[in-house]
Amino acid sequence: MQSKYELSIIIPTYNEKELIKDSITRIFANLKKLNVRNFEIIVVDDSKDGTENILSNLSKFYTNFKIIHRQNSRGVGSAIIEGINKASGEFGIIFMSDAPDDIKYIPIILKKLRSGCDFVHTSRFMKDSKIEGYPFIKTLANRLANYSVRAAFLRFDLKDFTSLFKGFKVDKARDLHLEADEFDIGLEMALKAIRKNYRIIEVSVNWKEREAGKSKLRLSKQAPQYAKRILKLFFTYW
């Protein structure tokens, strides 16, 4: 069946009233400047702070803007899974609402997908990448997790498994039968794609701390989930 759009951009949100209007407006404006066409934006929103009302008002200005508001918050991973399942595009990209200017990386991700890649990871740890404002403890934990995965899954060509900013063929992502409810969704997607021998490539990106609001990632909560996800997929997913 032919896809309605070439690209579905999936944005999970949770209590982002401080930045959501500016972010969505900038995302659409940046896509226009980059001449990205034939796309839809899907926002899967679990907010309880009024973000949903702002999104509803914004939807009046864009015909290719789909909002899925969920009453019971189930985590960023489950929001991404729902976005993938509801996507009408041939390709999908997971995008975070707190970094609207990162839209500039969409064309290179899309180019790689068009060329035949199944998954395109963005990497914060390539030689030409720059990181600004990332807490030292999170940086250290992230590095350790990524090095462990590279060794365990023998993919030394990849450097950033945990980033959620990924592009993919929608049918391939659905074929992974993802189940993670939280931030380990990025890790699950990467490792299952490796096990299925899908074609994966990385592109370098710069990263800086969000401009407003608070990060939802809590290392004390997420670190055990990452460890469990790695062990489960290493021993049981073939």
Q: Is the pLDDT confidence value at 193 over 90? A: yes
Whole-angstrom distance, CA of residue 96 vs CA of residue 109 = 15
- The predicted pLDDT at position 116 comes to 98
Q: Is the pLDDT confidence value at 237 over 90? A: no
Q: Is the pLDDT confidence value at 210 over 60? A: no
Question: Is the overall model pTM greater than 0.85, yes or no?
Answer: yes
Confidence of residue 130 (pLDDT cuts 50, 70, 90): confident
**Highest mean pLDDT of the ranges 5-14, 66-75, 139-148:** 5-14
Whole-angstrom distance, CA of residue 211 vs CA of residue 225 = 27
Q: Average per-residue pLDDT in the chain?
A: 90
3-state secondary structure of 227: helix
Confidence of residue 213 (pLDDT cuts 50, 70, 90): low
Q: Is the pLDDT confidence value at 229 over 80? A: yes
Q: What mean pLDDT comes out for the span 131-135? A: 76
80-126: per-residue pLDDT in tens?
A: 999 999 999 999 999 998 887 799 999 999 999 999 999 999 999 88
- The predicted pLDDT at position 1 comes to 58
Q: Which domains does the chain have, with CATH numbers?
A: 5-236 (3.90.550.10)
Q: What mean pLDDT comes out for the span 133-152? A: 83
Q: Cα angle vertex 156, ends 151, 159, to 5°?
A: 100
56-71: per-residue pLDDT in tens?
A: 999 999 999 999 999 8
128 alpha-carbon distance from chain centroid: 21
Q: Pairing state of beta strands 39-45 and 65-69?
A: parallel
